């Protein structure tokens, strides 16, 4: 392992550092998305159905137990409704929670794309420097000795492989997490829109949930 690091050259050090950061981010975001999984397929419709059947208090308690962004947005709207606030203020409360949830969803995800780009570029840099070393050795020796070229070519191949090894999974998980973020944001927007539409149809604001 040590000889492998020595052959990779100095460029391999930041690539290894990026790999550690990438693994930590992937684990952190994976655990986060597992924890915010929504156990109800269409939470907005579920809440509206509960309100229509007079189960407002029960659905409030259930939303407080859920940890998904949709639940937090709907809970903010229902709590504002119970406080007797206007439709505009209810919408503002829900929008505020939605923005906070969106920030939490996207947190650290763009770093994976940056790590993928940096790892690829560092691998390319190692390739270039390795080839430069090879040709300098060839120039100094003045003979076509394969042993002199082997060191530089080995460095070039090791850093290229290391860079791609870090970049590929980082880019893969970036797109996976990005899709999860987009789907969650869409579900959150749909649920909020459904609840606001339902509340706007209520004739008497005094009728609390």
Contact by Cβ (8 Å): 192, 98: yes
| pTM for the model | 0.81
Instruction: Please list, in sequence order, all residues whose beta carbon lies within 8 angstroms of the beta carbon of residue 33, skipping any fewer than 6 positions away.
Output: 177, 180
Q: Is residue 206 part of a domain?
A: no
Residue pLDDT, tens place only, 20-41? 999 999 999 999 999 988 877 7
The pLDDT value given to residue 206? 45
What the block records as the tokens of 13 is 């050090």
Comparing 73 with 206, which gets the higher pLDDT?
Answer: 73
What local confidence, expressed as pLDDT, does residue 204 receive?
47
Residue 2 placed within a domain: no
Determine, yes or no, domain membership for 65: yes
Q: Is residue 1 part of a domain?
A: no
**Residue 40 — φ and ψ, nearest 5°?**
-110, 125
Domain membership flag for residue 207: no
Q: Check: CB of residue 185 under 8 Å from CB of residue 102.
A: yes
Place of tokens 């392992």: 1
Q: Do residues 190 and 69 lie in contact, with contact meaning Cβ atoms separated by under 8 Å?
A: no
Give the pLDDT confidence score for residue 205 in this predicted structure.
Answer: 47
How much is the average pLDDT of 115-121? 95
pLDDT in tens, 133-149: 777 766 666 555 566 56
Say what percent of the chain tops pLDDT 70. 84
Q: With respect to residue 112, please indicate whether it lies within any of the assigned structural domains.
A: yes
Q: Does residue 108 lie within any of the structural domains?
A: yes
Q: Does the pLDDT value for residue 8 go beyond 70?
A: no
Domain-located, residue 96: yes
Total domains in the fold of the chain: 1
What is the crossing angle of helices 12-35 and 109-141, to 10°?
160
Give the domain extent around 150.
Answer: 7-200
The mean of the pLDDT values for the chain is: 84
> Which stretch of 48-52, 111-115, 119-123 has the lowest confidence by average pLDDT?
48-52
State the pLDDT at residue 43: 86
Q: State pLDDT tens for residues 41-61.
A: 788 888 888 888 888 888 888
Tally of residues, the chain: 209
């Amino acid at each position: 392992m040590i000889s492998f690091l020595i052959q990779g050259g100095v460029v391999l050090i930041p690539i290894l550092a990026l790999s550690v950061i990438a693994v930590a981010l992937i684990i952190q975001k994976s655990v986060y998305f597992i924890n915010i999984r929504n156990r109800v397929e269409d939470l907005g419709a579920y809440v509206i159905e509960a309100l229509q059947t007079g189960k407002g208090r029960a659905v409030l308690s259930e939303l407080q137990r859920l940890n998904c962004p949709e639940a937090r947005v709907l809970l903010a709207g229902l709590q504002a409704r119970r406080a007797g606030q206007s439709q505009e203020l209810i919408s503002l409360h829900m929008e505020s929670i939605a923005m906070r949830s969106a920030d939490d969803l996207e947190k650290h995800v763009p770093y994976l794309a940056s790590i993928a780009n940096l790892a690829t570029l560092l691998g390319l840099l190692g390739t270039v420097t390795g080839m430069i070393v090879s040709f300098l050795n060839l120039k100094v020796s003045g003979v076509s000795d394969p042993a002199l070229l082997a060191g530089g070519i080995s460095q070039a191949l090791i850093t290229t492989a290391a860079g791609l090894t870090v970049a590929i999974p980082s880019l893969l998980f970036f797109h996976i997490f990005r899709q999860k973020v987009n789907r969650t944001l869409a579900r959150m927007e749909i649920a909020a829109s459904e609840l606001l539409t339902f509340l706007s149809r209520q004739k008497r604001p005094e009728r609390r949930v």
